[in-house]
Amino acid sequence: MIKSYIAKVPTWLKNRYYLTVIAFIMWMLFFDTNDAFMLYKLKSELNTIKSEKEYFEKRITETKADLDNLLNDNNKLEKFAREKYLMKNADEDIFVIVVEEE
């Protein structure tokens, strides 16, 4: 009776090497710590971090250029101080106009 069930099983399922390869592939795709889903997630996270890195490198370059301009041009330094920190000369008054958004 058992031999009749074994006879119905395809020969490729009886091969232990084939079964070992299938078990290994299943293990690597679904059960391993670094399975296919984790690799996809890490790859997308890496792409996100690379785009953020490019953005921040661009911002650093712009900030360095602004700092260089501020340190070399007194007019720009004065404008920056007046706008950013509301600094003024002794004989001036500052009026801050706040625009309400609807």
What's the pLDDT band for 36 if we cut at 50, 70, 90?
Answer: confident
- pLDDT score at 44: 97
Separation between Cα atoms, residue 61 and residue 53, nearest integer Å: 12
Confidence of residue 1 (pLDDT cuts 50, 70, 90): low
The Cα–Cα gap between 70 and 79 comes to 9
Q: Find all residues with CB under 8 Å of 80, minimum gap 6, and list them.
A: 70
Q: Dihedrals φ, ψ of 49, to 5°? A: -65, -35
Q: Whole-model pTM?
A: 0.53
Contact residues for 87 (Cβ-Cβ < 8 A; gap 6+): 81
Condensed to tens digits (0 to 9), the pLDDT of residues 46-89 reads 999 999 999 999 999 999 998 998 899 988 888 888 888 878 87
